[in-house]
Amino acid sequence: MKKIFFALLLLTTLTLGSAEILEYSKLKKGMEGEGKTIFKGTTIETFKFKILGFLSNFSPGKNLIIAELFAPELEGIGVIAGMSGSPVFINGKIIGSVSYGFNFSKKPIAGITPIEDILKVKDYDTPEYTIDISDIKVKFDEQNIMNVKNILKREMIRRIDPASGNSALPIGLLSTSRGILGQADKLLRPLFTPSNNLKLDSAKQGKPTLKGSLRGADAVSIPLVRGDFEYSSSGTVTYTDGKKVYLFGHPFFNLGKVEFPMHRAEVVSVVPSYQESFKLSSTREMIGTITQDRFSAVMGEMGKTPYMIPLQIFFSNRNRKFNIEMVNHPLLTPAMAQLSIANIFLTEIQQYGFNSIKVDGKIFIENEKNIIINDLFSGGNSYNEFADLLLAINFFIMNNKEKQIKIQKMDFNVEVSERVKRGEISNVLINKNEFKPGELIDIKIIIKNNRGADSTESIRLKAPALKNGAEFRILIADKKEIGKFEAKNIKSSFFPSTLNSLIRAINNIRKNNRIYIKMIVPEKGMFVKGYEFSNLPSSLRNLYDYNSAGKNLTEIKYSSLEDYQMEVPVIITGKKLFKLKIRER
C-alpha cells in the first residue's frame, strides 16, 4: 500500500510540474492569459498578460511573442530582472516564458519565447565550447595578459546577448553575491543587470520551504563561484519534464553543453530601480546540474552533481584559509579564478593591508604535469597581477588545441607583507675580463632596494670551452630585459600546439623575483618548436633550413651557452651586459 501511495505522490508531483502545450501557430493578437512567477519568498504568484503581436524571425529561425504584463508589482517599473523564464499560459496551456524586455519602455512589455523553441533544447548535442587561441600570443607580459582579458570580456558579452541589434533584449540575469567586494567583479560587471553585486550576507538565510521536484515559476540560482563566498545568477523555471528542467527562455552564455550547479533560490524582495528593476534573490541548496545553455533556453537535470574546480588559498603567516569552488568551463573558469583571487586579497587588505605577495602554488591537471606558480608580486596592484596571471594561465590551458583537460584543484600558499619589496641591479662586479676555458668566473651583483639599502648576491660560473680569442657575453637582467633580448634574438611565431609544450612554456614563465644570467656567444643557432639549438655548425643549420617547418623554425643570431637564475627577496629591475674573452691556456 505504501509503494502505491508514493508512486501516486511522485506522479502528482510530475503532473503539477508539467503543463499541456499551446503551439505558437495557434496564437493570435489580443489573446489573454496568466503568467506565474515569484515576487517574494517561495510562493508562486500570478500576473495577467495580453498578446500585442509577434516578431517573426527576430533571430534566424526564432519567433517572439510580444505581450503586455499586468501585476501590481510591475506597475511603473516594467519587466524586472529575475523574471526570465516565468511561464505564461492561455486556458491552462503553456505558450512559453517571459524572456525579453525593451529598453526605456514605460510599460511592462515583454518578449515571450515560444514553448516549442524552449523544449527543442534537449535535442541539441554540439561539441563543448572552446575559444580558438591559435592567433593569440602565448606570452605573460602585462600587455598580452590585458589582451587576453579583453578577448575574454568581449566573448562573454557577445555570447550573453546573441540577439544584439534587435529592439528586444534578454531580460537581465541578476548577479548576486555573498562576500564579494565591489572592486573584485570588474570583469563581470558588464554582463549582468547593472544593479548587480548585491550583498546578501544580511539577508534571511533560513531553511528552504520547497520539497521534492521543482515547479514551473520556481526561482533558481546558478552559482559560478561558491564556498566561503558566492557569485551567482538567478532566474525562473519555465517547465519541467521528469528530471529535466527548462529555465530563462533565453541563453545564460549560449555555451552549448555545460556542467554548472543548479540551486533553489528564494526571492527576498522586488527592488524598483530607475535603471532596471530586479528580484533580489538568495541561493539555497543544490538540486541538480545545468547541462545545456542554448539560444532559446537553459536546461538542467535534477539529481545530477556537477564537477566543480576547488581553489584554496592559505595565508601561511596569518593562518587564514579560503576555500571555494568554481564552475569548470574554458570561458568562465579563467574569469571566476580572477574574480576569486581578487576578492580574497581585497578581503585581506580590508582587515590587514599589505603591499607584497609571495605565492607558492600549483594547478593540478589530471594525467598531466602540474603547473607551478612561484613568484613575488609587490606594490599597490600586486593582487591584480597575480589574479590576472592566473586568468591567463587558465585561459590558455583550458582552450589548448590538443585535448580537453580536467583541473583537479588549485592550491596556493601565500605570504603577505605590508612592505613594498622592490630592488634594482645597481652594479655588477666580475673579477676579470679574460678567462681560460673552465676557469671560474666570480660575479657579485649589487642590489639597491626601494629604501636605498644595498645587498649583494654572488654566483660562480665556469668559462665556456671556446677556442682561443673567442668572445662570449654575460647578460645579467630582470625578466623584462631578458624577455626583450629573447624577443629580438628569436623572431619566431611558434605556438605551443601540444598540451605538454604549453605546460612547459607556462612553467618557464619568467619570474619577478629572479635575476637571470645568460651566457651567450655571437654565433648563429636555430629555434625549433620551442627549443633552442645553440652554436650549430653551418652544415646542420642548412639541414634545418632545408626541412623548415615555417613558423616552427627560425634562425637566431646569438646562441645561449648557459642559463641561470637566482631567486631574491625583492622584485628586481635592471640589466648589465659584459663582453668577455677566452685567452690562451
Q: Provide the phi-psi class of 534: left if phi over 0, else alpha when psi is between -120 and 50, else beta.
A: beta
pLDDT tens figures, 284-304: 889 999 999 999 999 999 999
- Residues 339, 188 contacting (CB under 8 angstroms): yes
Burial of 139 (0-12, 13-18, 19+ CB in 10 A): middle
Please give the mean pLDDT across all residues of the chain. 83
- Residues 84, 170 contacting (CB under 8 angstroms): yes
Right CATH for 309-417 from 3.30.160, 1.10.1070, 3.10.20, 1.25.40: 3.10.20
- Residues 327, 374 contacting (CB under 8 angstroms): no
Hunting for cell 637566482 — which residue is that?
566
pLDDT of residue 107: 84
pLDDT tens figures, 207-229: 433 345 788 999 999 999 999 98
Nearest to 392, CA basis, from 137, 140, 134: 140
- Mean pLDDT (whole number) for 414-433: 93
pLDDT tens figures, 480-519: 999 899 888 877 666 787 899 899 999 999 999 999 999 9
pLDDT reading at 191 higher than 80? no
Q: Whole-angstrom Cα distance, residue 582 to residue 585? A: 9
| Residue 60 φ then ψ, to 5° | -50, 120
Q: How many other CB atoms are found less than 10 A from the CB of residue 451?
A: 9
Hunting for cell 629580438 — which residue is that?
488
- Residues 302, 220 contacting (CB under 8 angstroms): no
| Residue 234, CA distances (Å) to 41, 219, 284, 310, 434 in order | 14, 7, 11, 22, 71
pLDDT reading at 437 higher than 90? yes
pLDDT of residue 365: 98
pLDDT reading at 315 higher than 50? yes
404 Cβ neighbours under 8 A, 6+ residues apart: 128
Q: How many other CB atoms are found less than 10 A from the CB of residue 204?
A: 9
550: which DSSP letter?
A: G
pLDDT reading at 36 higher than 90? yes
pLDDT of residue 379: 86
Q: Whole-angstrom Cα distance, residue 438 to residue 46? A: 87
Task: Give the confidence band of 524 by pLDDT, cuts at 50, 70, 90.
Answer: confident
Domain borders along the chain are 1-306, 309-417, 422-582
Nearest to 203, CA basis, from 326, 84, 37, 41: 41
pLDDT tens figures, 386-414: 999 999 999 999 999 889 999 999 999 99
| Residue 137 φ then ψ, to 5° | -65, 130
Q: How many other CB atoms are found less than 10 A from the CB of residue 253?
A: 24
What share of residues in the chain are helix, strand, coil (percent, to 5)?
20, 40, 35
Q: Whole-angstrom Cα distance, residue 266 to residue 284? A: 7
DSSP-derived secondary structure for 410-424:
EEEEEEEESS--EEE
> What pTM was estimated for this model as a whole?
0.85
User: Which of helix, strand or coil describes residue 466?
Assistant: coil
- Residues 321, 313 contacting (CB under 8 angstroms): yes
Task: Give the confidence band of 104 by pLDDT, cuts at 50, 70, 90.
Answer: low
pLDDT reading at 275 higher than 70? no
Q: Whole-angstrom Cα distance, residue 443 to residue 430? A: 5
DSSP-derived secondary structure for 118-178:
HHGGGG--PPPP----TTS----SHHHHHHHHHHHHHHHHHHH-TTTTSSEEEPPPEEEEE
Nearest to 240, CA basis, from 207, 199, 210: 210
Nearest to 237, CA basis, from 122, 98, 121: 98
141 Cβ neighbours under 8 A, 6+ residues apart: 480, 483
Task: Give the confidence band of 128 by pLDDT, cuts at 50, 70, 90.
Answer: confident
Strands 407-417 and 308-315: parallel
